[in-house]
Amino acid sequence: MVYNEDMIKPLRGRPLTNKEKMLVKDGMDLQDIKKVLDDFMLLTGLEAIFTNGKGEIVAISDQSEVCSSFCRLIRSDPEGLKRCVQSMDKAGRQAAELGEAYIYRCHAGVIKFTAPVMSDTTYIGSISSGSVLMWDWDEIALQEIFNQTKDLKVNKEALVVASRQIKVLSSKKVQGAAKQLFIVASHLDSSGLDMLKERKELNDQQSKLFDFVYQNKIGRDPVRLLESQALKCSYPMDKENELLCRVRLGDRTGAKAILNEILGHIFLGGVTDIELLKARILELVVVISRAAVEGGASLEKLLGLNYEFIADLSAKKNFDEICLWIVKVLDVFMDTVYETRNIKNARSIVEALKFIRENYKKNLTLESVAQQVYISPYYLSHLFKEELGITFVEYLTKVRIDEAKRLLKDSSMSIVAIALEVGYQDASYFSKVFKKVVGLSPNQYRKNLS
């Protein structure tokens, strides 16, 4: 289908024909779409365009000639219009894959963002908005736009005038507008929202797993093959124990982070048989559920949930689906812990742990942390022993040494600098504590990394 600006103009401010309605799957109410686009334009001052699953422009917000003269000028050339449609369609499908709004640089060199419109699990189109700049308008920015559009038959002087009218927004404002666009798109058909959320969770989970693989320098690096073989035989029991502590505590965020590390170890361990992988994951679920009961969850309720989860697990066919599944199982277990335990106590210790993790560089004391979470030092000390099985000082030391391990990977940092970075004013004392916890001095640990 060949577009021109005259074909697009009639889509603004008048009833749609039956033929136009058929451009969208299942004849979705395009008047509703049009209203959503107009509302978004009034809220942000930015043009909004709906393209259907065929990559065709179906509706555009009113007054977009005023707020997007640059885009209107680009689309005055049939080739420019064609590229606009193609880039919006490609971005919309990418957004559907990610399960969230997608920010990108369009063919003309400006920033746009797109949100998918779903019907159940089917992609039926997208809403795109922009154009904006995320940098100051200057001669360099203008030259970039000229380079991107040099083969289009548009008036260059008019292009300069129009480019000066493009809004310059900060990164945070663009992200905020993109999130609003996603909410707007979700309003059109909420049946696809759950699926988008699931895709986003899956992509986030995959990203974290690949981060773990990268941090362990394995994957495709042949130099680390021996290390990967060692990992196959070294299941991280210490991480599993820490995971169980987090579950008992009700620390959802911390539990998820540690679970992801365990999944990374399993992934690196080379388990390729899907049924063997399921069996290993199921063992982990049983252990987590036991910890949830110890944390105050209802045993009767968890037994029923375990039966449902086992049936659901049998239908999973690949590693990604299984990883997402166990994260959801963990969420449900954590919910049951929160349902039945003393929420006040749980929140106090969770807030204390968070404060320590964010301020370990400072001279923290049991008294200063207790003051931050509004409980007595004696009671906070009691919570550490009862909930985590360690003292306040032991937890603070663990956080600092874990961070020191990470910093030791940077060969440019001296031991003195690392000691200061993790909260130790005396490098000699830091080395002593590090060796006591790790079994190696900081220098020995660094040499083993190379």
pLDDT digit string, tens, across residues 383-393: 888 767 788 99
Categorize the per-residue pLDDT at 271 as very low, low, confident or very high, splitting at 50, 70 and 90: low
At 343 the pLDDT is 46
Residue 171 has pLDDT above 70, yes or no: yes
Q: Are 141 and 159 part of one and the same domain?
A: yes
| Structural domain count of the chain | 3
Residue 49 has pLDDT above 60, yes or no: yes
Tokens of 112: 């746009």
Query: Which residues, at least 6 apart from 232, have a Cβ–Cβ distance to it below 8 Å?
Result: 268, 269, 270
| pTM of structure | 0.44
User: Largest alpha-carbon pair distance within the chain?
Assistant: 79
Domain final residue, candidates 176, 192, 208: 192
Q: Are 110 and 129 part of one and the same domain?
A: yes
Q: Are 226 and 275 part of one and the same domain?
A: yes
Strand partners, 118: 123
Domain final residue, candidates 307, 341, 375: 341
187-231 confidence digits (pLDDT tens): 665 444 454 555 555 455 555 544 544 454 444 444 333 333 443
At 255 the pLDDT is 80
C-alpha of 124 from chain center: 24
| Coil, helix or strand at residue 109 | coil
CATH for 357:
1.10.10.60
Categorize the per-residue pLDDT at 3 as very low, low, confident or very high, splitting at 50, 70 and 90: very low
Q: Are 96 and 174 part of one and the same domain?
A: yes
Q: Give which of 125, 133, 132, 127 is closest to 182, Cα–Cα.
A: 127
Q: Are 247 and 333 part of one and the same domain?
A: yes
Share of the chain above pLDDT 90, in %: 10
Which ranges of 360-426 does DSSP label H, i.e. alpha helix? 366-372, 377-383, 392-407, 415-421
204 domain-assigned:
no
How many Cα atoms occupy the beta-carbon half-sphere of 119 within 13 Å? Answer: 10
Q: 119-128, 173-182, 290-299, 360-369: lowest mean pLDDT where?
A: 290-299
Categorize the per-residue pLDDT at 441 as very low, low, confident or very high, splitting at 50, 70 and 90: very high
Cα(83)–Cα(270) distance, integer angstroms: 44
Categorize the per-residue pLDDT at 233 as very low, low, confident or very high, splitting at 50, 70 and 90: very low
Amino acid at 445: Y
Its domain, for residue 134, covers: 5-192
Q: Are 55 and 166 part of one and the same domain?
A: yes
Q: Are 435 and 327 part of one and the same domain?
A: no
Residue 108 has pLDDT above 60, yes or no: yes
Pairing of strands 167-168, 122-133: parallel
12-31 confidence digits (pLDDT tens): 444 444 444 444 444 456 67
As a whole number, mean pLDDT of residues 136-160 equals 84
Which ranges of 45-77 does DSSP label H, i.e. alpha helix? 64-67, 69-74
